[in-house]
């Protein structure tokens, strides 16, 4: 793809430029990207530094050079140097073309686009937004976690959501789920109506039956694949924990792995510990079976040899903001997975994360692919 002309360059408004100190070759300069708190450093020659201070988007490069040199110096040479520098700074998401920026700023999701502008150059943002709009996210379970995930993805610009849940809205859902108080109505119907009231353009498909085995999910996935959506534009998010997350992970993994469909385990919360991830990009990192094998090798509580009191049907507690927090990361992972490429990748590919209620700290545990994994190992059934 040919890079569009940088006609009216401007320093991105969310980027701060700060000289650090003078070096032999020029000014060591920080470019602090406010959206992501990423700092990039360059040594900039003095005359170019003066040019950058004028990048307000109203002048082209020649005008900028003329303003700096004032007809006294070698305008052509400085112009060449500036164009070359602007090319580099544009690729590093520091400089943008004002015409491109105006397109983003006129969009109702301008905040999202500006944020993604920290990862993608200005001329790619329309395409990036298109990738979100054309992606399909299948959310298995829209209870505590799933309702939030759907909400976040809709607001972020994901264009097509598939909601799967058999339940109806109950008063006891309201301590952790984002449903209006339409008690007794199907959750999928209530949530799809809500999402359309947020964005009338979002496509929401629903299935109000339970996924009890791979066949149930396969049917949903095959319908999506049948509409010519490539597997890499589909993400399945597991927000279902009945009868338990291991069971639903098994189903999701067995459907997604052979079809090369990325999937995210939204997790949940094991009392105070909000669990998040992993994200699986099939065959580009550990799969859910690899993670499960790794977890079995670890014995964190030291009780492996001791009899445990069997207690079925436990009703564990939940806290609204913990559920929301887990969901926020699951939605982040779905977005990152849709946009997966050289500039942005899912952070939890092969990682699981825990949020500690008591400290607010996040702890990450990494996992490796297992050579003897029965799914993706050397002799794995999905290899």
- Stretch 163-192 residues interacting with other proteins (CB under 8 A): 171-172, 174-176, 178, 180-181
Quote the least distance from Cβ 85 to other proteins, whole Å: 15
Return the DSSP state at 287.
Answer: -
14 contacts other proteins (rule: CB under 8 A) = yes
- Work out which of 126, 198, 371, 381 binds other proteins, going by CB under 8 A: 198
Q: Residue 331 half-sphere exposure, CB side, CA atoms within 13 Å?
A: 22
Cβ closest to other proteins, residue 66 vs residue 258: 66
Give the separation between CA 33 and CA 13, rounded to whole angstroms. Answer: 9
60 contacts other proteins (rule: CB under 8 A) = no
Quote the least distance from Cβ 20 to other proteins, whole Å: 8
Quote the least distance from Cβ 163 to other proteins, whole Å: 18
How many residues bind other proteins, per CB under 8 A? 88
61 contacts other proteins (rule: CB under 8 A) = no
325 contacts other proteins (rule: CB under 8 A) = yes
Whole-number Cα distances in Å, 150 to 49, 266, 316 = 45, 12, 24
Please report which helix (H) or strand (E) contains residue 206, including its range: strand 203-207
Find out whether 143 and 187 touch, Cβ atoms under 8 Å.
Answer: yes
Give the separation between CA 85 and CA 73, rounded to whole angstroms. Answer: 19
Among candidate residues 280, 249, 277, 278, the one with its CA nearest the CA of residue 262: 280
- Work out which of 6, 8, 11, 192 binds other proteins, going by CB under 8 A: 11
Q: What are phi and psi of 278, to 5 degrees?
A: -85, 170
315 contacts other proteins (rule: CB under 8 A) = yes
Give the separation between CA 169 and CA 180, rounded to whole angstroms. Answer: 9
309 contacts other proteins (rule: CB under 8 A) = yes
- Work out which of 24, 25, 301, 379 binds other proteins, going by CB under 8 A: 301
DSSP code string of 74-111 = -HHHHHHHHHHHHHHHHHTTSEEEHHHHHHHHTSTTHH
Whole-number Cα distances in Å, 99 to 89, 96, 116, 290 = 17, 9, 17, 47
Cβ closest to other proteins, residue 129 vs residue 370: 129
**What mask of x and - would describe binding to other proteins in positions 92 to 131, judged by CB under 8 A?**
---------x---x--xxxxxxxxxxx-------------
Cβ closest to other proteins, residue 130 vs residue 317: 317
Give the separation between CA 136 and CA 134, rounded to whole angstroms. Answer: 7
Quote the least distance from Cβ 200 to other proteins, whole Å: 6
Quote the least distance from Cβ 323 to other proteins, whole Å: 9
Q: Which bin fits 276, alpha (ψ -120 to 50), beta or left (φ > 0)? A: beta
- Stretch 131-170 residues interacting with other proteins (CB under 8 A): 151-152, 155-157
32 contacts other proteins (rule: CB under 8 A) = yes
- Work out which of 228, 303, 378, 379 binds other proteins, going by CB under 8 A: 303
Cβ closest to other proteins, residue 18 vs residue 371: 18
């Amino acid at each position: 793809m040919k890079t569009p002309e940088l006609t009216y360059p401007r320093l991105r408004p969310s980027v701060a430029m700060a000289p650090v100190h003078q070096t032999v070759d020029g000014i060591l300069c920080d470019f602090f990207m406010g959206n992501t708190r990423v700092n990039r450093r360059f040594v900039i020659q003095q005359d170019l530094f003066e040019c950058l201070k004028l990048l307000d988007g109203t002048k082209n490069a020649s005008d900028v050079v003329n303003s700096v040199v004032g007809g006294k110096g070698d305008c052509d040479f400085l112009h060449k140097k500036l164009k070359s520098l602007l090319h580099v700074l544009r690729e590093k998401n520091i400089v943008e073309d004002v015409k491109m920026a105006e397109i983003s700023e006129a969009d109702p999701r301008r905040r999202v686009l500006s944020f993604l502008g920290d990862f993608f150059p200005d001329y790619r943002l329309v395409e990036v937004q298109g990738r979100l709009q054309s992606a399909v996210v299948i959310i298995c379970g829209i209870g505590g976690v799933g309702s939030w995930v759907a909400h976040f993805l809709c607001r972020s610009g994901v264009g097509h959501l598939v909601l799967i849940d058999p339940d109806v809205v109950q008063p006891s859902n309201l301590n952790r789920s984002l449903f209006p108080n339409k008690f007794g109505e199907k959750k999928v119907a209530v949530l799809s109506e809500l999402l359309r009231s947020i964005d009338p353009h979002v496509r929401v498909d629903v299935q109000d039956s339970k996924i009890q085995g791979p066949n149930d999910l396969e049917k949903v996935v095959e319908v999506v694949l049948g509409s010519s959506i490539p597997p890499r534009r589909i993400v399945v998010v597991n927000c279902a924990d009945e009868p338990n997350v291991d069971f639903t992970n098994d189903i999701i993994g067995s459907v997604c792995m052979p079809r090369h469909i990325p999937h995210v385990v939204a997790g949940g919360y094991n009392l105070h510990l909000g669990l998040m991830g992993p994200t699986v990009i099939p065959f580009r990192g550990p799969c859910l079976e690899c993670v499960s094998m790794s977890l079995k090798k670890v014995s964190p509580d030291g009780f492996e040899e001791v009899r445990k009191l069997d207690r079925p049907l436990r009703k564990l507690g939940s806290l609204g903001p913990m559920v929301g927090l887990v969901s926020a990361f699951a939605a982040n992972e779905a977005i990152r997975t849709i946009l997966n490429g050289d500039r942005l990748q899912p952070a939890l590919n092969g990682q699981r994360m825990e949020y500690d209620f008591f400290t607010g700290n996040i702890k990450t545990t990494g996992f490796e692919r297992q050579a003897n994994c029965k799914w993706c190992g050397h002799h794995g059934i999905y290899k």
